Amino acid sequence: MRGIYTLILGLEHEIRIKVGSLGEILFPQGCYAYTGSARGPGGFRRINRHIAVMNGENATRRWHIDYLLPHVILRDVITTATDMDLECEAARRIGVNCIPVPRFGCSDCRCTSHLHYSPSYREMLFACRKAHRDLLDL
């Protein structure tokens, strides 16, 4: 199955991380939502790769999110099965309610960010569920 996904991640303490070409970024404690595409040949198996990076089973750092994953815990995953290119729209909708981390995860598009922050897990979960649910109306 293919589509788009949003990982909801928990960061237990503030941390400064060098994120590839973005340089050092200060990540406050709280919740982060990373929205990505699973429309390629592997579909939603891409999520398994993220989990492997998070668990230290994959040391490859290919995308911005790969630098953050070893420092967080997975709180939730929200998926939308679709063949439409809705990754950017989902990220934009999440950004209405949550704070974007500038230029993160969006080097191949014109989005502000594909990673968003909220100090509140409940607020983040609500924003992500709403964004994905609203995509079904497009």
Amino acid identity of residue 11, one-letter, is L
Checking if the pLDDT of 138 tops 80, the result is no
Tokens of 95: 């950004």
pTM of the model: 0.95
Tokens of 111: 């989005």
Checking if the pLDDT of 6 tops 90, the result is yes
pLDDT at 129: 97
Number of domains into which the chain is organized:
1
pLDDT at 40: 87
DSSP 17-72: EEEGGGEEEEE-SEEEEEEEEE-STTGGGHHHHHHHHHTTS-----STHHHHGGG-
**Could you read off the pLDDT of 23-82 as tens digits, one per residue?**
999 999 999 999 999 998 888 999 999 999 999 999 999 999 999 999 999 999 999 999
**Could you read off the pLDDT of 89-123 as tens digits, one per residue?**
999 999 999 999 999 999 889 999 999 999 999 99
Judge contact between 12 and 73, C-beta under 8 A. Answer: yes
Give the residues across from 81 on adjacent strands.
3
Q: How confident is the model at residue 128 (pLDDT cuts 50, 70, 90)?
A: very high
pLDDT at 56: 95
Q: Which range marks the domain in which residue 65 is found?
A: 3-135
Average pLDDT value for the chain: 95
